[in-house]
Structure 1
Amino acid sequence: MSVHMAYEVRVLRGAGWRVEGIFDDETIAVAAAKKVEGRADRSPVVVIQEVYDAARNHLKSRSIYRSGGDLSAHSTSMVLPFPKAAAPRPSAIYKPTRRPPRAASSKTSAEIWPWLALLIGGFVMIVFLLMYI
């Protein structure tokens, strides 16, 4: 069972919530939210705990900290949409196809020997020419 937990610090900017930071520890996330809350613009701040269960492909969110600002005065919703996607089925997972075995070479060793002898003979002749020039 694989469960992942994260804490998001969200700030209300204009018409929507902007993620200011993502943390693994609740105390650090709340401290960051209080630091953001102390800014001059006094925007509402929320810390959301998100628990994702990978085995069930389920996400659970809850608010663990809200700033002292009036959140109800803003007309936007607190919930950010999270895309719901079905878990991939095991049969739908990509499996690479195997290559077919290589066919035997069309050339036999009897056809290769004359060419090999010609190549080696040419190399030997070039070496002798370079030695005596």
Structure 2
Amino acid sequence: MSQAVSFEVDTYQNNRWVLECVLDDKDMALSTAKRLYDSKRFSAVRVVQETYDDASNSSRERVIFETTVADRDNRAAQQKKSDVAKKEVVDRSERHSLRKRPKKEEPAKKKPSIWTMVFLLVGILAVGVFALLYLKSL
């Protein structure tokens, strides 16, 4: 009364399905199928789960994963569409930011020259000396 489960990885070549390998582990079969499909050597890949029943001496098959070139093309088109949509959102936000008035750049402040500083210092000292002389004369 036991059941044996196996997973067949098939590739589509020359208008027919070709058995690539049989595995006992579902995750391994799925990753193998995806790897084969990503190699772009096959137009389609599928994983078939086969369950054999000892008691009835029969087996059942069920496709648990299948992908085709059309699926790949659809995913690529969908990705391109989402990339374009993201770019449009960015473009709209850039256009929005361009509508705002740009801040006027303030001209760089010109630093006073050394001669201006010396003249100012001499002037302050002269005023101080004259103030002291005036206060002393009182």
Q: What is the TM-score with the length of structure 2 in the denominator?
A: 0.48
For the pair shown, the structure with the greater C-alpha radius of gyration is: 2
Higher relative contact order (CA 8 A, sep 6+): 1
Which of the pair is proportionally richer in helix? 2
